A and B are shown apart, each in its own frame.
Chain A
Amino acid sequence: MSEPERDPHTGRLTTGHDWNGIKELNSPVPKLVWFFLILTTVIAVVMWVLLPTWPTGRDYTKGILNTNQYKVLDASLEAGAKQRAPWTHTFETTGFDELQADPAAMLIVRENGRRMFEDNCAMCHGRDGQGGRGFPDLTDDQWLWGGSPEDIMETLRVGVNNKHDEARLSQMLAFGRDGILDTNQRRQVVSYVQSLSEHDDASHVAALKPADIEAGRDVFAMQCATCHGVDGKGLPTMGAPNLTDDFWLYGGRRSDIEETVYGGRQGVMPFWEDRLDEVDRKILTLYVLDMGERQK
């Protein structure tokens, strides 16, 4: 330990420490640091007064601005809603036909609808709405629950086979697993269903046994026609698909149809009433219909 001494170059005192001849200047804390230290302290004191800060046991000081993160969020949501108000009003009050004919409205549908579709629907139905096995293609003209804008919007609201009180309910029975039809009957009815379906290449029908098709017709009339219709064209009110076209939700190969008849199908679509408001659902409906049109 040496005595503090004045450094000849800077004119400041040293600390008085001496490490093997190395000494340290006793420089004061720079003014800028003091400035910011005091400034931030002053800001903190002001904040104590303005914002929720100090705990007081079971409560806390609310601050004279009377604001908090929830109110800030509400304000930003309100501002967003206000910004959209002109066109949300249009969507609330205008019918589907008129909206579809209005290019300005459809521009909004394409932009906002795409965003909502990708956030919520694309996971199952695919980014381009083409679905996959078990997830319906939204761009073809086949609709299990009806393809009118009103039907689609209702499907969006309540979903299918979920716990919404008004959910669309549809259960294809497990004809094999539950022992309703035996192996023979299932073979026959699958043959009949295959003979119904329209196909460019008719060779698959030629390969079926006429006797099976005939016997399958009776099984179909007994077991399947209630939902799929006597002619097999399906019933949108039951969510039963048309079997005479060439669209297959769970695959159209014989093995797929056999699997469907054996184990039944109960496709689930979530309901969106809690997650998307009416305008959103309307926009999505228009978006989905528009998507199908554009992909034609």
Chain B
Amino acid sequence: MLEHHRKLERTAIGFVLAIMLVASIGGFIEIAPLFTIDETVEDVPDMRLYTPLEQAGRNIYTREGCYACHSQMIRTLQDEVERYGPYSLAVESKYDHPMLWGSKRTGPDLARVGDKYSDAWHVKHLMDPRSVMPTSVMPAYKWLARTPLDYEDLGLHLKTLRKVGVPYTDAMIEHAAADAFGQANPNSDEAYDLEERYGEDSNIRVFDGDSARLTEMDALVAYLQILGQLTDASYQETPLQSNKGTE
């Protein structure tokens, strides 16, 4: 045995491979079983899909690196649940590719920020964070309001997501651009079609306060307003948690 080890120690690459093999055992036995255990991802029938506009907002969120300062993961800790709401469930990230849980909170967690503030607030905050929160260190994102959203290729985004398991239908992929337009243009025919495809709970309104143009601001606010709203499961799982801070 020792003799074998002596040999192994003397072949550099073999030894490195051996170290990697041993080091991966811990990860393997902790992570691999999660793929077979039934409880890992909850089964939720009312789970909604991101609409194309929300998906576009998600891409902007990723592009601007929002995840570097904001997590989207409420842990099972008293202070987090009391401040942010019910803890995050795995199923809520089911259609997140990539997931944006984050690991650092310079700003607050955003997992339940959807519907917590008005669209007007989000726009004002993104234009000038200090105007609503004097002590904020967040940068301003003014250009989002004047940059037209590039939504023509959203169908391809949806198609790619379908390859990794998000159940977009052919119609959703085909009409992605029109759906993105419709979501920010209430009373349009496209808005009606979007509602048909994505359900009547879809948020259809002028997100950035400017109905004339579809901007990146529309997309990002649409995305922020859906965070934590894709399913009600978390609210059913944990009873209404009161927010009284930790004593």
**Do B81 and A77 touch (CB < 8 A)?**
yes
Number of cross-chain contacts by CB at 8 Å: 94
A55-B36, A72-B76 known; A124-B247 Cβ under 8 A: no
**Does A135 have its Cβ within 8 Å of any Cβ on chain B?**
yes
Q: Which of B51-59, B153-161, B237-245 contacts A (4 or more CB under 8 A)?
A: B237-245
User: In the assembled complex, how far is the CB of residue A29 from the closest CB belonging to chain B, in whole angstroms?
Assistant: 16
Whether the pair B83, A80 counts as a contact (CB closer than 8 A) is no
Output the least CB separation between A163 and chain B (Å). 8
A interface size (C-beta, 8 A): 40
A223 at the interface (CB under 8 A from B): no
Task: Give which listed residue, A72, A126, A267, A276, contacts B242 with CB less than 8 A.
Answer: A276
- Of chain A, the residue at the smallest CB distance from B132 is A123
Known: A55-B37, A59-B37, A274-B235. A269 touches B118 (CB 8 A): yes
A-B contacts, 16 listed (Cβ < 8 Å): A70-B76, A72-B76, A73-B87, A76-B78, A80-B244, A80-B246, A80-B247, A116-B244, A120-B116, A122-B133, A123-B121, A267-B120, A270-B116, A274-B240, A275-B243, A277-B240
Check: B208 CB closer than 8 A to any chain A CB. Answer: no
Tell me whether A81 and B115 are in contact (CB under 8 A).
no
Contact, CB under 8 Å: B118 / A124: yes
Q: Are B37 and A279 in contact (CB under 8 A)?
A: no
Q: Main SS of the interface on chain B?
A: loop
Count contacts on B: residues with CB < 8 A to the other chain: 38
Q: Considering the complex, which residues of chain B in the window 58-110 have a beta carbon less than 8 Å from any beta carbon of chain A?
A: 76-78, 81-83, 85, 87
Asked if A134 is an interface residue, CB under 8 A from chain B, the answer is: yes
Contacts of B39 in A (CB 8 A): 59
User: Would you call B242 and A279 a contact (CB within 8 A)?
Assistant: yes
Q: A270-B116, A270-B117 are in contact. Are A116 and B76 (CB under 8 A)?
A: no
Within 8 A of A (CB), among B122-165: 124-125, 131-134
Question: In the complex, A288 Cα to B52 Cα: how many Å?
Answer: 40
The answer to whether B118 touches A270, judged by C-beta atoms less than 8 angstroms apart, is yes
**A266 to B: closest C-beta gap in Å:** 9
CA distance A131 to B119 in the complex (A): 16
- Return the chain A residue nearest B237 by Cβ: A70
Does B27 sit within 8 A of A, measured CB to CB? no
Name which residue of chain A comes closest to B229, CB basis: A163
The smallest C-beta distance from A238 to any residue of chain B, in angstroms, reads: 19
